Structure 1
Amino acid sequence: MTASSKPTAHTADREIVTTRDFDAPRELVFAAWTDVKHVSNWWGPNGFTTTTHRMDVRPGGEWRFVMHGPDGTDYQNKITYIEVARPERLVYTHGGEVELEPVDFHTTVTFTEVNGKTRVTMRAVFPSAEERDRVAREYGAVEGGQQTLARLAEHLAQSTSGAADRTIVSTRLIEAPQERAFQAFANPDQLKHWWGPSGFVNTIEKFELYPGGEWRLIMHGPDGTDYHNENVFTEVTVPERVAFEHREPVHRFKMEMTFAPAGAHTQLTWRMVFESATEFARVKDFIIPANEQNFDRLAAHLAAL
């Protein structure tokens, strides 16, 4: 891993660039940056822990969090996302408010596949060379970046022992309290109005929201095609979590949906584990944007209530 300052000529003297290769698939590495369940396990230099109050990974969305230092000091942070290109690139700004740590910078994080591994490059651009040097000196930003990526490597090493090469993680901050967001799924009269990608409508034939219960529905595509779906619930914890097995049609997967309170809002996370890496590779380019469309429809449904 290297930490340096050598990108473009006009900003080279005010940048900190940190790079590391990870022995993990790019989708998983990207998810580690955008899923609260992942990021709380590795973010920050050695000895730090992180409490996330809000994480909305989309352009204009915010990640508000507190970094707890090993000496007991709390550091208030805010990141505002400018660009989210899953799973290739994140662009965000840090800081911007009086009550936050006095550190402002613009960061681009790239995720590149290199010889079966994932190369992460963090490029932080500061307002001036003097500010870059101050942050490096007072906050140990260069060493901190190295330690942070080393902690990510440790976290990914633990994660890749399971189903990482066949897992899709999608997350969205929903602007509704936990109970209300959960009921939008738990109530089939609501669920039918927003489930599925853009243009789909639903006929729910059976919905038994308890472990072992069945969920049968027909998704009517915008081209007139009907898709019959059969699911069996494996876990239901109101209003926090639902898990089910999707058995029909075509592809089979297990879905875990978590509804985590985030102040007055809800962090909704979907974790889909497919039966094989081959099946995952076949459907991921459709499923990832489809999940985002599904979140858009849910947000619009809740806003209209």
Structure 2
Amino acid sequence: MSDDARISVPSDVPEISGTRLFDAPRALVFDAFAAPDRLARWFGPKGFSLTTQAFEFAPGGVWRFVMHGPDGRDYENKIVFREIQRPERIAYVHPGDDDADPVRKETTISFSQEGEKTRIDWRMRFPTLVERDRAEREYGVAIGLAENLDRLGDFVEESADPVFSTSRRFAVPRDLLWKALTEPERMAQWFGPKGVPVIASEMDFRPGGSYHYGLRAPDGGPMWGLFEYREIEAPTRITLIASFSDANRGLTRHPLSETWPLKVETTYVFTEKDGAGELTLVARPFEASAEEIATFAGALEALSNGWAGTFDELESYLVQG
């Protein structure tokens, strides 16, 4: 769940600001601002809808749109983007020119990661206190900002990236299970689907290190992958970013899906009970677009089947070892 918004209207500064913590990764929250189809689902106060006429999400780019109020009135808007630093910051200006909304203001939206959550600080600065107070009196800007953050919270919850999780208990101690995933010569004996042998296995097992591997696909061609290790807590937890790769460690798209997430955050958790090690895998899209998230969500059953086969290979290796 997202926290409630906190809105500030200081008496001595021509600003209106709001902050809210969202229970979602920063990339997902940032991407809510990056495309008109996503903005149409949440941008604006409660009861409003919008129609985009032009949109260029780049410094100097213009977003022209019409806000449709619940009272039937239309409000012309023009935004000019000044700064875009993905996924940390967006700055834009309402110039108040042409036939657009006459309210002039500069807006800065900052995105900061707090654990697995994201905080937005949304700050609007007006030329003078008089103009700020007029905008608040005529348009209810502070209430509108609170409602906007609420709608964004709803959108983020609806769009939160799906999570894949699977686990299996093995008839070996946790220490042996740990070694099977942290030593390249052991990984080469089992990693991958049945009938798809490992042809390369190069590992630098440390936070900031990587594992670059190659598999021989059924058609005889190579298929490369790359793990980038982020956190290692021996012998209980490994967090990494998994990607498809090439022979030179470059990131590539899934060979069968152009919309598969380029990066997948994967966590392995190792536990033990009565001498038997259990491995739990949790995976989710990382810094993914809405299209990539949707592709991942639609493939959960296929992931379950694929990892079941890979765990079968791991189990066979452990039994033979």
CA–CA separation in structure 1 for the residues paired with 2:16 and 2:222: 49
| 1:277 correspondence with 2:268 | no
The residue number in structure 2 matching 1:3 is 7
CA–CA separation in structure 2 for the residues paired with 1:157 and 1:30: 14
Deviation at 1:84, TM superposition (A): 0.5
| 1:26 correspondence with 2:26 | yes
The residue number in structure 2 matching 1:215 is none
Deviation at 1:20, TM superposition (A): 0.7
CA–CA separation in structure 1 for the residues paired with 2:92 and 2:82: 5
| 1:100 correspondence with 2:100 | yes
Q: What are the superposed Cα offsets for residues 228-271 of structure 1, whole Å, 9 maximum, x if unpaired?
A: 999xxxxxxxxxxxxxxx97647654434xxxxxxxxxxxxxxx
Contact kept in structure 2, 1:229 and 1:247, CA below 8 Å: no
Contact kept in structure 2, 1:110 and 1:121, CA below 8 Å: yes
Letter in 2 for 1:277: E
Q: What are the superposed Cα offsets for residues 100-131 of structure 1, whole Å, 9 maximum, x if unpaired?
A: 11111001100001132100011100011011
SS in 1 for 2:64: strand
CA–CA separation in structure 2 for the residues paired with 1:151 and 1:60: 27
The residue number in structure 2 matching 1:67 is 67
Which residues of 2 match residues 255-294 of structure 1 at below 5 A? 255-256=258-259, 273-274=261-262, 276-278=264-266
Letter in 1 for 2:149: L
Count of residue pairs the alignment pairs up = 189
TM-score normalised by length of structure 2: 0.53
Q: What are the superposed Cα offsets for residues 206-242 of structure 1, whole Å, 9 maximum, x if unpaired?
A: xxxxxxxxxxxxxxxxxxxxxx999xxxxxxxxxxxx
| 1:114 correspondence with 2:121 | no
Change (3 A) 1:72 1:57: same
Contact kept in structure 2, 1:50 and 1:67, CA below 8 Å: yes
SS in 2 for 1:103: coil
The residue number in structure 2 matching 1:55 is 55
CA–CA separation in structure 1 for the residues paired with 2:86 and 2:68: 29
CA–CA separation in structure 2 for the residues paired with 1:15 and 1:78: 19
SS in 2 for 1:33: coil
Change (3 A) 1:282 1:98: closer
Change (3 A) 1:12 1:113: farther
Change (3 A) 1:154 1:19: same
Deviation at 1:71, TM superposition (A): 1.1
TM-score normalised by length of structure 1: 0.55
The residue number in structure 1 matching 2:158 is 158
Contact kept in structure 2, 1:229 and 1:248, CA below 8 Å: no
Letter in 1 for 2:122: M
Change (3 A) 1:248 1:89: closer
Deviation at 1:275, TM superposition (A): 7.0
SS in 2 for 1:57: coil
The residue number in structure 1 matching 2:145 is 145
Letter in 1 for 2:20: R
The residue number in structure 2 matching 1:46 is 46
- Aligned-residue CA RMSD (Å): 3.2
Letter in 1 for 2:141: A
Letter in 2 for 1:19: T
Contact kept in structure 1, 2:161 and 2:284, CA below 8 Å: no
Change (3 A) 1:283 1:148: closer
Q: Which has the larger radius of gyration?
A: 2
SS in 2 for 1:131: helix
Unaligned runs of 5+ in 1: 165-227, 231-245, 257-271, 289-305
Deviation at 1:5, TM superposition (A): 3.4
Change (3 A) 1:120 1:22: same
| 1:129 correspondence with 2:129 | yes
CA–CA separation in structure 1 for the residues paired with 2:285 and 2:150: 32
State percent identity of aligned pairs.
39
CA–CA separation in structure 1 for the residues paired with 2:262 and 2:160: 15
Change (3 A) 1:84 1:52: same
SS in 1 for 2:42: coil
Deviation at 1:282, TM superposition (A): 11
SS in 2 for 1:47: coil
Letter in 1 for 2:84: V
